[in-house]
């Protein structure tokens, strides 16, 4: 069984290995030891009761049979407050002349910080060998149970940055155009600098005025708002939850940023808070489950017996142990699909 839990200091080695496996373009998990130590420390402070408003909840997926850490998932409660959170917004400008009978609509990309302060779903990574069954859904959707149970700690608007198109060598067609005209820095370098928090070069070198999309290379234009092939399942899952692209894209690879009001996320709306009964589960319905303790958050997928008339859910003793809950305590649950 995979169980989601808050990261610990002892998980550093596994986190570092996953950072290396994630590759170029995965900005929130850079291959940088000091920064990864900082991320763990920030998360440990965030799960503490006296935590400050800028909270970063970094969790891992642990295989309970082997103790192996096989994935990560996180929620950043408020982006852009300490370091700028940049996006491009895809807009339109009309060039028209009635006397010449000319009417042209031109798309533009405008740099901005419109998402400052919103909550971000981030740092979702699952090791290749475990990309099967419901593991991906567990990593992604467990965050919705945390949002539903502890919404007071999060912004009413929730976003997720989707990894954009790049090749096996980490080359982004979109960045190649920016590099040629403005930056003279390759995509892996720019991606790494952003990942380690050195974002000042963006303000220093990024064009200050809107970019006319039709001036970009054809290859760059073709990937605006598109996701990396490995990111398609994650995007489809979020879209099924109600997330939409409002025209915001990443400034490096032009991958889409999707958003949804926290209260409108389907798994948040449809989740239920039921009382635990520990016993034998006969047949059962498969559900995504979490406890209601933020500091000791646990989530997993298992079969349960529901008794909605009594507002109860029957768990096996093993599942209750994994979730750290006892008879009579509440848990939150939701259907996987």
CATH of the domain at 148: 3.40.630.30
Number of domains in the chain: 2
Confidence (pLDDT) at 337: 87
**Which value, to the nearest 10 degrees, does the dihedral of the CA atoms of residues 212, 214, 215, 218 take?**
140
pLDDT for residue 251: 86
Rounded to an integer, what distance in angstroms lies between the CA atom of residue 102 and that of residue 303?
Answer: 63
- Bridge partners (DSSP) of residue 289 are 300, 333
Asked if 275 and 229 sit in the same domain, the reply is no
**Number of helices (H) and strands (E), helices first, in the chain?**
10, 15
**158, 275: one domain:** no
- Which pTM was predicted? 0.91
Report which of 319, 24, 68 is spatially closest to residue 166, judged by C-alpha positions: 24
104, part of any domain:
no
Q: Are residues 28 and 59 in the same domain?
A: yes
Closest to 216 in 3D by CA, of 88, 84, 87: 88
219 and 158, same domain (yes or no): yes
pLDDT of residue 254: 93
pLDDT digits (tens, 9 = 90+) for 62-96: 999 999 999 999 999 999 998 889 899 999 999 88
**Domain boundaries, position 19:** 2-86+113-266
Residues 223 and 279 in one domain: no
Domain boundary among 249, 266, 283: 266
CA gap 178, 185 in Å, rounded: 9
Is 71 within 8 Å of 18 (Cβ atoms)? yes
Per-residue pLDDT reduced to its tens digit, 5-40: 999 999 999 999 999 888 765 667 888 898 899 999
198 falls within a domain: yes
Residues 239 and 298 in one domain: no
| 54 within some domain | yes
Three-class DSSP category at 239: helix
> Which CATH number fits the domain that encloses residue 326?
2.40.40.20
* CA distances, 259 to each of 70, 243, 268 (Å): 27, 5, 14
Residue 154 sits in the same domain as residue 284:
no
Give catalytic status of residue 228 as yes or no.
yes
User: pLDDT (tens digit, 9 = 90+) per residue, 208-257?
Assistant: 789 999 999 999 999 999 999 988 999 999 999 999 999 999 988 899 99
308 shares its domain with 219: no
Residue 140 lies in a domain: yes
| Given the residues 89, 95, 228, 264, the one annotated as active site | 228
The answer on 160 and 188 residing in a single domain is: yes
Of 219, 250, 266, which residue constitutes the final position of a domain?
266
Question: Which residue is associated with the tokens 């200050």?
Answer: 208
pLDDT (0 to 100) of residue 170: 73
Q: Tell whether the model's pLDDT for residue 50 goes beyond 70.
A: yes
> Are 117 and 81 in contact, with CB atoms under 8 Å apart?
yes
Same domain, 318 and 210: no
- Residue 103 in domain: no
User: Is residue 103's pLDDT more than 70?
Assistant: yes
Low-confidence winner among 4-8, 50-54, 281-285 (lowest mean pLDDT): 50-54
Tell me the mean pLDDT in the region 307-326. 97
């Amino acid at each position: 069984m995979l169980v989601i839990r808050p990261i610990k200091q002892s998980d550093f080695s596994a986190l570092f290995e996953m950072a290396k496996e994630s590759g170029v373009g995965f900005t929130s998990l850079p291959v940088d030891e000091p920064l990864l130590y900082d991320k763990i420390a920030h998360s440990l402070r965030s799960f503490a009761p006296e935590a400050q408003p800028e909270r970063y909840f970094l969790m891992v997926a642990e295989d309970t049979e082997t103790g192996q850490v096989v994935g990560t998932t996180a929620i950043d409660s408020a982006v852009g407050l300490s370091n700028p959170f940049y996006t491009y917004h895809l807009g339109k400008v009309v060039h028209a002349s009635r006397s010449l009978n000319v009417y042209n609509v031109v798309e533009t990309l405008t740099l901005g910080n419109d998402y400052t302060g919103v909550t971000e779903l981030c740092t979702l990574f699952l090791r290749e060998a475990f990309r099967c069954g419901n593991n991906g859904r567990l990593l992604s959707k467990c965050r919705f149970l945390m949002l539903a149970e502890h919404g007071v700690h999060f912004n009413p608007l929730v976003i997720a940055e989707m990894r954009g198109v790049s090749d096996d060598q980490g080359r982004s067609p979109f960045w190649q155009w920016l590099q040629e005209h403005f930056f003279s820095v390759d995509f892996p370098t720019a991606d790494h600098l952003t990942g380690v928090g050195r974002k000042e070069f963006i303000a220093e070198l990024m064009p200050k005025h809107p970019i006319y999309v039709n001036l970009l290379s054809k290859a760059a234009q073709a990937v605006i708002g598109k996701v990396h092939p490995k990111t398609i399942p994650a995007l489809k899952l979020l879209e099924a939850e109600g997330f939409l692209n409002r025209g915001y894209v990443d400034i490096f690879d032009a991958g889409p940023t999707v958003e949804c009001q926290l209260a409108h996320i389907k798994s948040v709306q449809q989740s239920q808070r039921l009382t635990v009964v520990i016993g034998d589960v006969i047949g059962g319905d498969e559900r995504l489950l979490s406890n209601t303790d933020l500091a000791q958050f646990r989530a997993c997928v298992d079969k349960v017996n529901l008794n909605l008339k009594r507002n109860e859910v029957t768990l096996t003793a093993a599942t209750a142990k994994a979730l750290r809950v006892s008879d009579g305590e509440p848990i939150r649950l939701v259907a996987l699909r």
